[in-house]
Amino acid sequence: MSGQAGRGSFSRLAFGRLGIMAVLGFSSGLPWALSGPTLRYWMSGEHVPLGMIGLTANIGLAYLLKFVWAPFFDEAKPFFFGRRRGWLIPVQIALALAIAALALSDPGQDVWLTLGLGALVAFLSASQDIIIDAWRIEAFAPNLQGVALACEVWGWRVAYQVSNAGVIALSIGLGWHGAFGLMAVLALLGPLAVLFAPEPEVAREAHPAGLAARFSQAVREPLQEFLGRRGIAVIIGFIVLFRLGGALGGTMLAPYYTALGFDRAHIAVANGPLSLICGIAGTGLGGLLVMRIGVGRALLFTALLQVAALCLYPVLGLYPHLPYILLIISAVEAFTDAFSDTAFLSYLSGLCHPEHTATQYALLSSLAPLALHTIAGASGFLAARTGLVSFFVICAFAALPGIALLLVILRLYPPNETRLKSA
């Protein structure tokens, strides 16, 4: 199979690669909550000042800026295991060690050390994501990209549940140090999976001599090729605004639930197994939807579904005492998020030129959460001014500009379905 998992059929080797993809997705998702939501729970239990807890939001900038060092993984060839596997294994081992160091820290005694280790975990996690995404795009045939992506997101969501709700539950018996330490052990599943992963065989142009020329090839040329496309301003605008409504709303969910009287146990149950099942189902159905109707129409359908899901949060505020309402809304949110993610990330994959896969995908996946790390920072001020119920109404309307730009894209700059739609 020469770097691709077959043409049009699910061979035994294709299934093996999809299994590896799921494990790599798990490795990708495991650190995300550990340096974000779960870390904030730990810091809150140690009575760390709110201002310091708020700084954890800046840790996520590593995921936003990963395109800066992505060219390194495209251009620098390691001494063993190949260009992708040779970088992925040492990065994953370093990530496991960073999580272990975070587990040994004490945010109540030295919060700056904890924040620094959290930032290190995020940096190594973002680096891991660069290489995993490049391996996925290069290792699977075009007709299997949607399924491969579904497996990756599937594994990611399982890992997120484990490192979020799972760690919170484990901390009751093991303590925070023990629960985080167990995550460091689970992080070693990544390099084990890579040992069984084939190295993609992708033909590449010869590298020019000289540092300036290599930088030009690694950075300037991928960006120039991408920015020179028709309708690029509209495409970038869509990528940035597609998740604006969810980004605004997601930052205020915790205070919203607290204000409505839901305790930690209720929230944990709502984000537990049912949400996981719904997320997995959404990912699988999203992959099938992309294969059946194409990424363009799948994007439009899932975007409208996201708006409908956002409209449920004002309903929660008006009727917080309805039986199982929090559980139902959390399940719907998990399904719609996973459903739309698969179509959206498939679209980003299709925008990548084969010669600049890692650099361009890292750039695109960094643009996607831009609203989360910029505009969403003002969500607390907006919610305090409007009230939380009205705030979530605004979040639903905030999703509409992204849909408007998507309609323009579908009419004038339709995605390349050849690469992404299954035969």
> Considering only 7-16, 44-53, 308-317, 387-396, which range has the smallest mean pLDDT?
7-16
Q: Are residues 417 and 324 in the same domain?
A: yes
Segment among 77-81, 228-232, 311-315 with least mean pLDDT? 77-81
Could you tell me which of 240, 186, 171, 214 has the C-alpha nearest to residue 74? 214
**1: in domain:** no
Structural domain includes residue 23: yes
What percent of the chain clears pLDDT 90, i.e. is strictly above it? Answer: 27
Cα angle, residue 90 at apex, residues 200 and 365 outer, rounded to 5°: 60
2 domain-assigned: no
Assign 422 a pLDDT band (cuts: 50, 70, 90): very low
Assess if residue 410 is contained within a domain: yes
Q: Is residue 145 part of a domain?
A: yes
Is the model's pLDDT at 37 over the cut of 70? yes
Alpha-carbon gap, residue 99 to 297, rounded angstroms: 40
Give the pLDDT score at 419: 46
- Specify whether 220 is located in the same domain as 293: yes
101 and 138 fall within a common domain: yes
Asked whether residue 26 carries a pLDDT value surpassing 90, the answer given is yes
Q: Strand runs (DSSP E) across 107-171, as ranges? A: none
Is 400 in the same domain as 285?
Answer: yes
Q: H or E element: which one contains 230?
A: none
Rounded average pLDDT over 132-139: 84
Residues 6+ apart with CB under 8 A from 140: 4, 5, 17, 21, 147, 148
The mean predicted confidence, pLDDT, of the chain is 81
CB distance 199 to 81 below 8 Å? yes
The helices-and-strands tally (H runs, E runs) of the chain is 27, 0
Residue 117 pLDDT more than 60? yes
Selection from 56, 21, 30, 29 nearest residue 41 by Cα: 56
C-alpha to C-alpha distance for 36 and 56, rounded to whole angstroms:
6
Examine the domain organization and report whether 102 and 143 are in the same domain: yes
Same domain, 235 and 354: yes
Provide the pLDDT for residue 208: 52
Task: Check: CB of residue 245 under 8 Å from CB of residue 398.
Answer: yes
Structural domain of 263: 212-423
- The pLDDT value given to residue 9: 45
Provide CB contacts within 8 A for 363, sequence distance 6+: 67, 70, 222, 223, 226
Q: Do the beta carbons of residue 63 and residue 28 sit within 8 Å?
A: no
> What is the C-alpha separation between 61 and 366, in angstroms, rounded?
9
Could you say which of 154, 179, 202 is where a domain stops?
Answer: 202
Q: How far apart are the first and last CA of the chain?
A: 18
Same domain, 241 and 341: yes
For residue 13, how many other CB atoms are within 10 A of its CB? 12
Choose between 346 and 123: higher pLDDT: 123
Give the CA angle between residues 391, 392, 396 to the nearest 5°. Answer: 120
Specify the pLDDT at position 408.
Answer: 93
Residue 135: pLDDT over 70: yes
Q: Answer yes or no: do 274 and 392 share one domain.
A: yes
The pLDDT tens digits of the residues spanning 249-298 come to 777 776 677 778 777 677 778 877 888 788 889 888 888 888 888 888 88
The number of beta carbons lying within 10 Å of the beta carbon of residue 405 is: 20
pLDDT score, position 68: 79
pLDDT at 1: 38
CATH number of residue 357's parent domain? 1.20.1250.20
Residue 58 and residue 155 in one domain: yes
Q: Is the pLDDT of residue 4 over 60?
A: no
Q: Is the pLDDT of residue 143 over 80?
A: no
pLDDT category, 343, cuts 50, 70, 90? Answer: confident
Q: Are residues 229 and 175 located together in one domain of the fold?
A: no
Is residue 142 within 8 A of residue 133, CB to CB? The reply is no
Q: What percent of the chain has pLDDT over 70?
A: 86
Cα separation, 105 vs 111, in Å, equals 9
Query: Would you state the pLDDT for residue 5?
Result: 40
Mean pLDDT, residues 38-57: 73
Condensed to tens digits (0 to 9), the pLDDT of residues 198-251 reads: 777 665 555 555 545 655 666 677 777 888 888 889 999 999 899 888 877 777
Reported confidence tier of residue 314, pLDDT bands at 50, 70, 90: very high
Question: Which range in 33-37, 40-44, 250-254 is most confidently predicted, on average pLDDT?
Answer: 33-37
Look at residues 202, 221, 252 and tell me which one is the last residue of a structural domain: 202
Of 16-20, 77-81, 117-121, 147-151, the range with the lowest mean pLDDT is 77-81
- In this structure, which amino acid lies at residue 351? L
pLDDT of 3 above 80? no
Q: Is residue 48 part of a domain?
A: yes
Q: Please tell me the distance from the alpha carbon of residue 86 to that of residue 92, in angstroms, as a whole number.
A: 11
| Unique residue bearing structure tokens 């010869």 | 206
- Per the structure, how many domains does the chain have? 2
Whether 390 and 307 map to the same domain: the answer is yes
Residue identified by tokens 């929090």 is: 326
Q: Are residues 136 and 108 in the same domain?
A: yes
- What is the identity of the amino acid at 166? G
Q: How far apart are CA 206 and CA 139, in angstroms?
A: 21
pTM score, whole prediction = 0.67
Please indicate, yes or no, if residue 3 is contained in any of the structural domains: no
pLDDT confidence band for 52 (50 / 70 / 90) = confident
d(CA 294, CA 241): 21
- Domain boundary (175, 202, 229) is at 202
User: By CB neighbour count within 10 A (0-12 exposed, 13-18 middle, 19+ buried), where does 6 fall?
Assistant: middle
- Across 15-167, where does the E strand assignment appear? none
Report the pLDDT averaged over residues 329-358: 85
3-state secondary structure 255-271: HHHHHCCCCHHHHHHHC
Angle at 23 between CA 100 and CA 117, to 5 degrees: 25
Residue 102 has pLDDT above 80, yes or no: yes
Band (114; pLDDT cuts 50, 70, 90):
very high
More confident residue, 40 or 19: 19
pLDDT surpasses 50 at 309: yes
Which residue, 327, 222, 324, is CA-closest to 278? 327
Looking up tokens 């460091």 gives: 184
189 close to 29: Cβ distance less than 8 angstroms:
no
Structural domain includes residue 406: yes
Say yes or no to pLDDT of 418 above 50. Answer: no
Cα separation, 281 vs 414, in Å, equals: 27
Asked whether the beta carbons of 152 and 25 are under 8 A apart, the reply is: yes
Instruction: Say whether pLDDT at 373 is over 80.
Output: no
Which of 78-82, 232-236, 371-375 holds the top average pLDDT?
A: 232-236
